[in-house]
Amino acid sequence: MAIFQPMFSRYSYSDQNLMLTLIRPGVEGHIFGTDNLGRDLFVRVWVGARISLLIGITGALIELVIGIIYGGISGYKGGNVDNIMMRIVDVLYVIPDIVMMILLIMVIGPGLLTVIIVISALHWLPMARIVRGQILQVKEQEFVLAARTLGASHTRIIARHLIPNVIGPIIVRLTFSIPGAIFLEAFLSFIGMGVPQPLASWGTLAAAGQTQLIAHPHLLLFPSIAISLAMLSFNMLGDGLRDALDPGLRK
């Protein structure tokens, strides 16, 4: 729906009709009704799905790459290297998220790319800790010692033997990161630092809808349902991927 519905809709996400503002769902062919500028909410929800899912998935994948590399090196090396790398993570944890978000947005400027960068910069720390903790548990097992004895390189041991055996918790964390990124984008949009107008994301739609909650609840209802269904879908997808990719669960 996010890919094809806006392409074949007779309405554009930015088309305004001030004669049809804030109409109820189902009236005049507007399935989800219209907003305060007469724009069709149905097509805006699906255009918002494109942007929100792009932000969530891209931010989570960047977080995944950084967290696996950083946490994998820290856990595998151990000793002083591990201590130094984890103290850096602890220092970054001390900085309040809102301060880091505002600083990054002020330096880079608001926009879609900025939102993705901000989300990636904030969310890789928990991933790195999870990967590091899992690697510490696995790296002394017999199959890792056997790989070292056979002369496998450090990179191969991490990529071929360690990461596949800790993929379950990583996938679970990733599935939480995507809806978390969507909610963070909604917060940034609420304070005016998210996706710029006239682009629509689920966050901007929900932020606009909450101001009309009493009189026109459909403006908040439909973006909220979309966010909830996306969260449920990614959690179910994560469970399936964990079962498929975790070597301990394979038959």
pTM greater than the 0.85 cutoff = no
Please list the pLDDT of the chain residue by residue as tens digits (251 residues): 888 888 888 887 777 888 888 888 878 778 888 888 888 888 888 988 888 888 888 888 888 889 888 988 888 888 888 899 989 888 888 877 777 777 877 787 777 788 888 888 778 888 888 888 888 888 877 888 888 788 878 788 877 878 887 777 787 778 778 877 877 877 777 677 777 766 778 888 887 888 788 888 888 888 889 888 887 888 787 777 777 766 555 55
What pLDDT is attached to residue 251?
52
What pLDDT is attached to residue 234?
81
Integer CA distances (angstroms), 32 to 12, 26, 53, 65, 199, in order: 14, 6, 20, 38, 18
What pLDDT is attached to residue 26?
79
227: nearest Cα among 184, 188, 179: 179
Domains of the chain, each with CATH number or no CATH? 34-249 (1.10.3720.10)
What pLDDT is attached to residue 245?
65
